[in-house]
Amino acid sequence: MKKIRVKTVAIVSLSSGMLGEPFIRHELELGLGRLRGYGLEVRFSPNALRGRDYLSRHPEARAADLLWAFREPEVDMILCSTGGDDTYRLLPWLFDHNELAEAVTEKIFLGFSDTTVNHLMLHKVGLSTFYGQAFLPDVCEPDREMLPYTRRCLEELLETGAIRQIRPSDVWYEARRDFSQAALGTTMPAHPNGGFQLLQGPPVFSGEILGGCLDTLYDLFDSGRYADSVAVCQRYGLFPSLEDWSGKLLLLETSEERPPPEKCRRMVEALKDTGIFSVLSGILVGKPMDEIYAEEYRRILLEVVDDPSLPILWNLNVGHATPRCIIPFGVPAVVDAHAQAITFAGR
């Protein structure tokens, strides 16, 4: 794929419709100003601003927006507004008649959290994507400016159409709790970051990265959140086959729900039951929000994986904890824990 210098960004709401709610307007305007400050043209998909209630009732509208964004020739980059919890419901409108496969063109697709499902959809149709940031939580961050580490990653993607390397952030931030207009210009407390931490296995390993939010992946195997999530995802073969996972690096990060250790164990065990840990080349794990349950999560991973030869790299600045990097999916990556770097091949 040739390099893309982004000129036009399409913002889509594929999960929650929060972006269209009046109480979020001050953040939307802040984010729009920041994107336009890069000289970008910003377009909203036809249903992106229709609000939570409408988009919850109309997954077909969300699916139509994704198809629209790929079909619009001027759009260089598709940026998800935020996450949510029911993106699997788009599957029938994207796969029943090969709609997504026929619409997909080589564009940047960026999102995280429940957007994990969209990444898996696009993986099925052969598109490499980018995981780790979204419009509301990152571009619209209420601080005086975007968080510096987050901003540098986004700027690299906008300027080059690629991410060449990620290194740890020097700091991490406590989760923001106030998103009101009064919070504009306020700063979150920051703490020194510990860097990439090798929990086990050799310090250098490689493979293409795929994965995302552990909570979302669990919904592919457990119907506790939605009664039909397992059946729908199985019907469309959303979770890749073991052959597809062979040699890959699995990215995992936990959500803002901060799952308690007992649930985290069930989630990791559900992945183990697929056989995935026997074919992977390594596991990459994002920092949990506020480092809550960090020790318990580490212990659970080691106990459930139960294979000391499989490398596990902990404490990546990706996912729900801030700041956030951007990780390319579907391109060769080399992890060097000693050098504190993950390097990606050209796209």
* Complete domains list, the chain, with CATH: 8-163 (3.40.50.10740), 171-344 (3.50.30.60)
pLDDT at 3: 54
Q: How far apart are CA 235 and CA 229, in angstroms?
A: 10
Q: How far apart are CA 62 and CA 45, in angstroms?
A: 9
- For residue 14, which amino acid is it? L
pLDDT at 1: 39
- For residue 211, which amino acid is it? G
pTM exceeding the 0.95 threshold for the entire prediction: yes
- For residue 249, which amino acid is it? L
Q: How far apart are CA 342 and CA 335, in angstroms?
A: 4
Residue 104 is encoded by which pair of tokens?
């997909």
Q: How far apart are CA 167 and CA 181, in angstroms?
A: 33
Name 161's Cβ contacts closer than 8 Å, sequence gap at least 6: 2, 3, 4, 5, 6, 108, 347
Low-confidence ranges of the chain (pLDDT < 70): 1-4, 347
